[in-house]
Amino acid sequence: MLLIPGEPGDITSDWLTHVLDAPVETVRVVDANAGTTGRAVLQLDYAQPVELPDRLFVKLPPTDELQRAFVCSSGMGRREALFYQQLFREVPLRVPYCYHAASDDSGEEYIMLLEHLEDSGCTFHNASSRYSLDYIRQVLAAFARLHASYWESPRFGRDLEWVQPAVQHEIAVQLIAQVLQAHSGDMPPVFTAMGELYLEEVDAIHRLWDRGPATLIHGDVHDANLFFDGDQPGFLDWALVARGPGMRDVGYFLAGTLSPEDQQAHQRDLLLYYREQLLANGAPAPSVQELWRQYQWHAAYVWVGAAVTLAMGDAWQPVGYVMKLLERLHLALEGLDSVAAIRAGLR
Protein backbone atom coordinates (compact mmCIF):
# COMPACT_ATOMS: atom_id res chain seq x y z
CA MET A 1 0.00 0.00 0.00
CA LEU A 2 1.36 3.44 -0.97
CA LEU A 3 2.19 5.55 2.07
CA ILE A 4 0.35 8.85 2.54
CA PRO A 5 2.77 11.79 3.04
CA GLY A 6 2.31 13.36 6.46
CA GLU A 7 3.63 16.84 5.67
CA PRO A 8 4.16 18.91 2.51
CA GLY A 9 7.91 18.28 2.64
CA ASP A 10 7.28 14.53 2.53
CA ILE A 11 5.70 14.75 -0.93
CA THR A 12 8.38 13.53 -3.33
CA SER A 13 8.64 13.49 -7.09
CA ASP A 14 8.57 9.68 -7.01
CA TRP A 15 5.36 9.65 -5.00
CA LEU A 16 3.74 12.18 -7.34
CA THR A 17 4.91 10.23 -10.39
CA HIS A 18 3.10 7.19 -9.01
CA VAL A 19 -0.22 8.83 -8.03
CA LEU A 20 -0.43 11.14 -11.05
CA ASP A 21 0.82 8.53 -13.50
CA ALA A 22 3.07 11.21 -14.98
CA PRO A 23 6.85 11.77 -14.97
CA VAL A 24 7.31 14.34 -12.21
CA GLU A 25 10.95 15.42 -12.27
CA THR A 26 11.02 17.93 -9.40
CA VAL A 27 8.60 19.26 -6.83
CA ARG A 28 8.84 22.35 -4.64
CA VAL A 29 6.63 23.52 -1.77
CA VAL A 30 5.98 27.18 -2.62
CA ASP A 31 3.47 27.90 0.16
CA ALA A 32 2.28 26.12 3.28
CA ASN A 33 -0.05 27.06 6.14
CA ALA A 34 -2.55 25.50 8.49
CA GLY A 35 -6.04 26.33 9.72
CA THR A 36 -8.71 23.71 10.30
CA THR A 37 -6.48 21.55 8.10
CA GLY A 38 -3.03 21.71 6.56
CA ARG A 39 -2.63 23.40 3.17
CA ALA A 40 0.20 23.76 0.71
CA VAL A 41 0.92 24.71 -2.89
CA LEU A 42 3.26 22.53 -4.93
CA GLN A 43 5.21 23.60 -8.01
CA LEU A 44 5.83 20.64 -10.32
CA ASP A 45 8.25 20.17 -13.19
CA TYR A 46 7.67 17.25 -15.56
CA ALA A 47 10.28 15.28 -17.50
CA GLN A 48 8.12 15.59 -20.63
CA PRO A 49 5.00 17.48 -21.72
CA VAL A 50 1.84 16.27 -19.95
CA GLU A 51 -1.74 17.45 -19.68
CA LEU A 52 -1.40 18.24 -16.00
CA PRO A 53 -1.03 21.57 -14.19
CA ASP A 54 2.29 22.97 -12.99
CA ARG A 55 0.80 23.83 -9.59
CA LEU A 56 -1.38 21.81 -7.26
CA PHE A 57 -3.20 22.78 -4.07
CA VAL A 58 -2.71 20.19 -1.33
CA LYS A 59 -4.80 19.42 1.75
CA LEU A 60 -3.45 17.21 4.51
CA PRO A 61 -3.52 17.05 8.34
CA PRO A 62 -2.54 20.19 10.28
CA THR A 63 0.82 20.25 12.04
CA ASP A 64 -0.55 21.58 15.34
CA GLU A 65 -1.12 18.57 17.62
CA LEU A 66 -4.35 19.80 19.22
CA GLN A 67 -5.84 20.83 15.89
CA ARG A 68 -4.75 17.55 14.35
CA ALA A 69 -6.43 15.62 17.16
CA PHE A 70 -9.68 17.55 16.61
CA VAL A 71 -9.67 17.05 12.84
CA CYS A 72 -8.89 13.34 13.17
CA SER A 73 -11.40 12.65 15.93
CA SER A 74 -14.16 14.36 13.95
CA GLY A 75 -13.27 12.51 10.74
CA MET A 76 -13.12 15.74 8.76
CA GLY A 77 -10.08 14.87 6.66
CA ARG A 78 -11.18 11.33 5.81
CA ARG A 79 -14.69 12.57 4.97
CA GLU A 80 -13.39 15.16 2.52
CA ALA A 81 -10.99 12.66 0.96
CA LEU A 82 -13.90 10.25 0.44
CA PHE A 83 -15.91 13.03 -1.18
CA TYR A 84 -13.13 13.63 -3.68
CA GLN A 85 -12.58 9.91 -4.24
CA GLN A 86 -16.25 9.12 -4.88
CA LEU A 87 -18.40 12.18 -5.49
CA PHE A 88 -16.60 15.18 -6.93
CA ARG A 89 -17.10 14.08 -10.55
CA GLU A 90 -20.84 13.46 -10.18
CA VAL A 91 -22.19 16.28 -8.00
CA PRO A 92 -24.01 18.88 -10.16
CA LEU A 93 -21.82 21.71 -8.87
CA ARG A 94 -18.54 23.39 -9.68
CA VAL A 95 -16.00 21.95 -7.24
CA PRO A 96 -12.20 21.83 -7.37
CA TYR A 97 -10.89 19.15 -9.69
CA CYS A 98 -9.16 16.37 -7.76
CA TYR A 99 -6.06 14.67 -9.13
CA HIS A 100 -5.61 12.28 -6.20
CA ALA A 101 -7.22 11.67 -2.81
CA ALA A 102 -6.47 9.08 -0.15
CA SER A 103 -6.97 8.46 3.55
CA ASP A 104 -6.40 5.70 6.08
CA ASP A 105 -9.23 4.03 7.98
CA SER A 106 -8.52 5.96 11.17
CA GLY A 107 -8.69 9.37 9.52
CA GLU A 108 -5.31 10.29 10.97
CA GLU A 109 -3.65 10.38 7.56
CA TYR A 110 -5.18 11.89 4.45
CA ILE A 111 -4.19 13.89 1.41
CA MET A 112 -5.90 15.60 -1.51
CA LEU A 113 -4.18 16.97 -4.62
CA LEU A 114 -6.55 19.58 -5.98
CA GLU A 115 -6.89 22.12 -8.74
CA HIS A 116 -5.18 25.42 -7.94
CA LEU A 117 -8.24 27.57 -8.40
CA GLU A 118 -6.39 30.86 -8.76
CA ASP A 119 -4.58 29.41 -11.78
CA SER A 120 -8.02 28.59 -13.22
CA GLY A 121 -9.04 32.25 -12.93
CA CYS A 122 -11.44 31.72 -10.05
CA THR A 123 -12.19 34.44 -7.51
CA PHE A 124 -12.78 34.23 -3.76
CA HIS A 125 -14.53 36.12 -0.96
CA ASN A 126 -17.13 37.31 -3.42
CA ALA A 127 -19.94 38.22 -1.02
CA SER A 128 -18.77 41.82 -0.66
CA SER A 129 -18.15 42.42 -4.37
CA ARG A 130 -20.90 40.25 -5.87
CA TYR A 131 -23.50 40.55 -3.14
CA SER A 132 -26.98 41.00 -4.53
CA LEU A 133 -30.20 39.04 -4.48
CA ASP A 134 -29.14 37.53 -7.81
CA TYR A 135 -25.93 36.30 -6.15
CA ILE A 136 -27.99 34.72 -3.36
CA ARG A 137 -30.30 33.06 -5.90
CA GLN A 138 -27.34 31.63 -7.83
CA VAL A 139 -26.16 29.83 -4.71
CA LEU A 140 -29.69 28.70 -3.81
CA ALA A 141 -30.17 27.29 -7.31
CA ALA A 142 -26.91 25.36 -6.92
CA PHE A 143 -28.10 24.01 -3.56
CA ALA A 144 -31.36 22.90 -5.16
CA ARG A 145 -29.51 20.98 -7.89
CA LEU A 146 -27.35 19.23 -5.30
CA HIS A 147 -30.17 18.47 -2.89
CA ALA A 148 -32.60 17.27 -5.57
CA SER A 149 -29.96 14.89 -6.97
CA TYR A 150 -29.66 13.01 -3.67
CA TRP A 151 -33.13 13.54 -2.19
CA GLU A 152 -33.92 10.53 0.01
CA SER A 153 -31.47 8.55 -2.11
CA PRO A 154 -31.32 4.77 -1.57
CA ARG A 155 -27.56 5.11 -2.14
CA PHE A 156 -27.22 6.26 1.48
CA GLY A 157 -27.75 2.61 2.35
CA ARG A 158 -25.30 1.38 -0.26
CA ASP A 159 -22.23 3.06 -1.76
CA LEU A 160 -22.83 6.31 0.13
CA GLU A 161 -23.27 4.66 3.51
CA TRP A 162 -20.19 6.56 4.70
CA VAL A 163 -22.17 9.82 4.34
CA GLN A 164 -23.60 10.06 7.84
CA PRO A 165 -25.73 12.68 9.64
CA ALA A 166 -23.80 15.79 10.59
CA VAL A 167 -21.29 15.15 13.35
CA GLN A 168 -22.17 16.38 16.82
CA HIS A 169 -18.82 17.49 18.19
CA GLU A 170 -18.59 16.88 21.93
CA ILE A 171 -16.05 19.68 22.25
CA ALA A 172 -18.69 22.16 21.06
CA VAL A 173 -20.39 22.09 24.47
CA GLN A 174 -17.12 22.99 26.18
CA LEU A 175 -16.36 25.75 23.68
CA ILE A 176 -19.87 27.26 23.83
CA ALA A 177 -19.63 27.38 27.63
CA GLN A 178 -16.23 29.00 27.29
CA VAL A 179 -17.37 31.62 24.80
CA LEU A 180 -20.45 32.48 26.89
CA GLN A 181 -18.26 33.12 29.90
CA ALA A 182 -15.86 35.27 27.90
CA HIS A 183 -18.29 37.31 25.76
CA SER A 184 -21.80 37.43 27.24
CA GLY A 185 -21.12 40.84 28.75
CA ASP A 186 -20.40 42.48 25.40
CA MET A 187 -22.99 40.68 23.25
CA PRO A 188 -26.74 41.22 22.76
CA PRO A 189 -29.16 39.15 24.89
CA VAL A 190 -29.84 36.68 22.05
CA PHE A 191 -26.19 35.55 22.25
CA THR A 192 -26.64 34.36 25.84
CA ALA A 193 -30.16 33.03 25.25
CA MET A 194 -29.03 30.91 22.29
CA GLY A 195 -25.92 29.68 24.05
CA GLU A 196 -27.75 28.70 27.21
CA LEU A 197 -30.48 26.92 25.23
CA TYR A 198 -27.83 24.97 23.32
CA LEU A 199 -26.10 23.86 26.52
CA GLU A 200 -29.42 22.95 28.11
CA GLU A 201 -30.81 20.92 25.16
CA VAL A 202 -27.79 20.02 23.06
CA ASP A 203 -28.78 16.45 22.13
CA ALA A 204 -32.39 17.35 21.41
CA ILE A 205 -31.35 20.32 19.28
CA HIS A 206 -29.10 18.15 17.13
CA ARG A 207 -31.98 15.72 16.65
CA LEU A 208 -34.17 18.68 15.65
CA TRP A 209 -31.61 19.75 13.05
CA ASP A 210 -31.77 16.27 11.50
CA ARG A 211 -35.54 16.34 10.98
CA GLY A 212 -36.83 16.27 7.44
CA PRO A 213 -36.07 14.46 4.17
CA ALA A 214 -32.39 13.56 3.99
CA THR A 215 -30.13 14.54 1.12
CA LEU A 216 -26.46 15.25 0.49
CA ILE A 217 -25.46 18.51 2.15
CA HIS A 218 -22.23 20.50 2.07
CA GLY A 219 -22.64 21.47 5.72
CA ASP A 220 -20.40 24.54 5.87
CA VAL A 221 -21.31 27.05 3.16
CA HIS A 222 -20.04 30.51 4.02
CA ASP A 223 -18.15 33.05 1.95
CA ALA A 224 -14.74 31.55 2.69
CA ASN A 225 -15.93 28.20 1.30
CA LEU A 226 -17.32 29.62 -1.93
CA PHE A 227 -15.57 30.68 -5.10
CA PHE A 228 -16.70 31.89 -8.51
CA ASP A 229 -15.58 30.56 -11.87
CA GLY A 230 -16.86 33.24 -14.20
CA ASP A 231 -20.53 33.51 -13.26
CA GLN A 232 -20.74 30.03 -11.74
CA PRO A 233 -20.56 29.56 -7.96
CA GLY A 234 -18.24 26.84 -6.76
CA PHE A 235 -18.01 25.03 -3.45
CA LEU A 236 -14.85 24.41 -1.41
CA ASP A 237 -14.02 22.49 1.76
CA TRP A 238 -16.21 19.40 1.85
CA ALA A 239 -14.95 18.25 5.26
CA LEU A 240 -18.45 18.50 6.75
CA VAL A 241 -20.30 16.78 3.91
CA ALA A 242 -23.20 14.91 5.47
CA ARG A 243 -26.64 13.40 5.08
CA GLY A 244 -29.39 15.68 6.35
CA PRO A 245 -32.18 18.10 5.45
CA GLY A 246 -31.30 20.52 2.67
CA MET A 247 -32.35 23.43 4.83
CA ARG A 248 -29.22 22.92 6.90
CA ASP A 249 -27.29 24.30 3.93
CA VAL A 250 -29.88 26.91 3.02
CA GLY A 251 -30.42 28.19 6.57
CA TYR A 252 -26.67 28.31 7.20
CA PHE A 253 -26.05 30.28 4.01
CA LEU A 254 -28.95 32.72 4.24
CA ALA A 255 -28.54 33.55 7.93
CA GLY A 256 -24.81 34.05 7.52
CA THR A 257 -24.90 35.98 4.25
CA LEU A 258 -28.06 38.08 3.89
CA SER A 259 -27.81 41.70 4.94
CA PRO A 260 -30.16 42.64 7.80
CA GLU A 261 -32.28 44.62 5.35
CA ASP A 262 -32.63 41.68 2.96
CA GLN A 263 -33.33 39.32 5.84
CA GLN A 264 -36.45 41.30 6.64
CA ALA A 265 -37.54 42.13 3.10
CA HIS A 266 -36.68 39.06 1.04
CA GLN A 267 -36.00 35.93 3.11
CA ARG A 268 -39.47 34.43 2.54
CA ASP A 269 -39.26 35.05 -1.20
CA LEU A 270 -35.81 33.44 -1.26
CA LEU A 271 -37.13 30.34 0.51
CA LEU A 272 -39.92 30.19 -2.06
CA TYR A 273 -37.32 30.46 -4.83
CA TYR A 274 -35.32 27.58 -3.35
CA ARG A 275 -38.50 25.50 -3.14
CA GLU A 276 -39.35 26.25 -6.77
CA GLN A 277 -35.85 25.20 -7.80
CA LEU A 278 -36.20 21.92 -5.88
CA LEU A 279 -39.46 21.20 -7.69
CA ALA A 280 -37.93 22.11 -11.04
CA ASN A 281 -35.16 19.59 -10.35
CA GLY A 282 -37.61 16.83 -9.50
CA ALA A 283 -37.56 16.83 -5.69
CA PRO A 284 -40.84 16.71 -3.68
CA ALA A 285 -40.12 19.91 -1.79
CA PRO A 286 -41.55 20.54 1.68
CA SER A 287 -44.23 23.18 2.10
CA VAL A 288 -43.27 26.82 2.45
CA GLN A 289 -44.41 26.70 6.07
CA GLU A 290 -42.14 23.75 6.82
CA LEU A 291 -39.19 25.40 5.08
CA TRP A 292 -39.74 28.54 7.15
CA ARG A 293 -39.82 26.56 10.39
CA GLN A 294 -36.62 24.76 9.43
CA TYR A 295 -35.01 28.09 8.52
CA GLN A 296 -35.74 29.34 12.04
CA TRP A 297 -34.01 26.25 13.44
CA HIS A 298 -30.99 26.14 11.14
CA ALA A 299 -30.09 29.80 11.53
CA ALA A 300 -29.03 28.69 15.01
CA TYR A 301 -26.86 25.93 13.53
CA VAL A 302 -24.62 28.49 11.87
CA TRP A 303 -24.58 30.51 15.10
CA VAL A 304 -23.16 27.51 16.98
CA GLY A 305 -20.45 27.16 14.34
CA ALA A 306 -19.55 30.85 14.59
CA ALA A 307 -19.55 30.84 18.40
CA VAL A 308 -17.31 27.76 18.52
CA THR A 309 -14.97 29.42 16.02
CA LEU A 310 -14.82 32.54 18.20
CA ALA A 311 -13.86 30.39 21.17
CA MET A 312 -10.82 29.21 19.19
CA GLY A 313 -9.50 32.75 18.80
CA ASP A 314 -7.67 33.25 15.50
CA ALA A 315 -6.91 29.54 15.02
CA TRP A 316 -9.70 28.86 12.51
CA GLN A 317 -10.79 32.30 11.31
CA PRO A 318 -9.70 35.85 12.19
CA VAL A 319 -11.60 37.05 15.26
CA GLY A 320 -12.65 40.25 13.48
CA TYR A 321 -14.29 38.23 10.69
CA VAL A 322 -16.16 36.05 13.21
CA MET A 323 -17.37 39.03 15.24
CA LYS A 324 -18.86 40.62 12.12
CA LEU A 325 -20.51 37.33 11.23
CA LEU A 326 -21.99 37.04 14.73
CA GLU A 327 -23.32 40.58 14.53
CA ARG A 328 -25.25 39.63 11.39
CA LEU A 329 -26.36 36.31 12.90
CA HIS A 330 -27.71 37.93 16.04
CA LEU A 331 -29.94 40.17 13.95
CA ALA A 332 -31.09 37.12 11.99
CA LEU A 333 -31.85 35.11 15.14
CA GLU A 334 -33.80 38.00 16.60
CA GLY A 335 -35.77 38.58 13.40
CA LEU A 336 -36.55 34.88 13.02
CA ASP A 337 -37.30 34.44 16.73
CA SER A 338 -35.14 31.33 16.49
CA VAL A 339 -34.73 30.70 20.21
CA ALA A 340 -38.51 30.51 20.71
CA ALA A 341 -38.95 28.46 17.51
CA ILE A 342 -36.39 25.89 18.66
CA ARG A 343 -38.00 25.63 22.10
CA ALA A 344 -41.36 25.06 20.40
CA GLY A 345 -39.85 22.43 18.11
CA LEU A 346 -38.45 20.53 21.08
CA ARG A 347 -41.82 20.11 22.78
Alpha helices in the chain (DSSP H): 13-20, 65-74, 76-86, 127-130, 133-149, 171-183, 189-200, 202-209, 247-257, 260-280, 288-311, 319-336, 338-346
Rounded to whole angstroms, how far apart are CA atoms 48 and 285?
52
pLDDT at residue 254 is higher than 90: yes
More confident residue, 52 or 33: 52
125 pLDDT band (50/70/90 cuts)?
A: confident
pLDDT at 300: 94
pLDDT at 99: 98
pLDDT tens for 60-78 read: 988 777 777 777 777 889 9
pLDDT at residue 33 is higher than 90: no
Collect contacts of 200-209 with beta carbons under 8 A, ≥24 apart.
201/342, 201/346, 202/168, 202/172, 202/173, 203/168, 204/346, 205/300, 205/342, 205/346, 206/166, 206/168, 208/297, 208/342, 208/345, 208/346, 209/166, 209/244, 209/245, 209/248, 209/297, 209/298, 209/301
1 pLDDT band (50/70/90 cuts)?
A: low
42 pLDDT band (50/70/90 cuts)?
A: very high
pLDDT at 35: 66
Rounded to whole angstroms, how far apart are CA atoms 315 and 68?
12
What is the CATH number that goes with domain 8-115? 3.30.200.20
* Distance set, CA 295 to CA 209, 219, 274 (Å): 10, 14, 12
pTM of the model: 0.93
pLDDT at 108: 86
CATH fold of 123-346: Aminoglycoside 3'-phosphotransferase; Chain: A, domain 2 (3.90.1200)
Single-letter code of the amino acid located at 135: Y
pLDDT at residue 146 is higher than 70: yes
Domain with CATH 3.30.200.20 in the chain: 8-115
Per-state percent for the chain, helix, strand, coil, to nearest 5: 50, 15, 30
Percent of the chain predicted with pLDDT > 70: 99
180 pLDDT band (50/70/90 cuts)?
A: very high
Q: Which of 211-225, 259-273, 316-330 has the lowest mean pLDDT?
A: 316-330
Domain with CATH 3.90.1200.10 in the chain: 123-346
pLDDT tens for 192-201 read: 999 999 999 9
pLDDT at residue 34 is higher than 80: no
**Mean pLDDT value across the chain:** 92
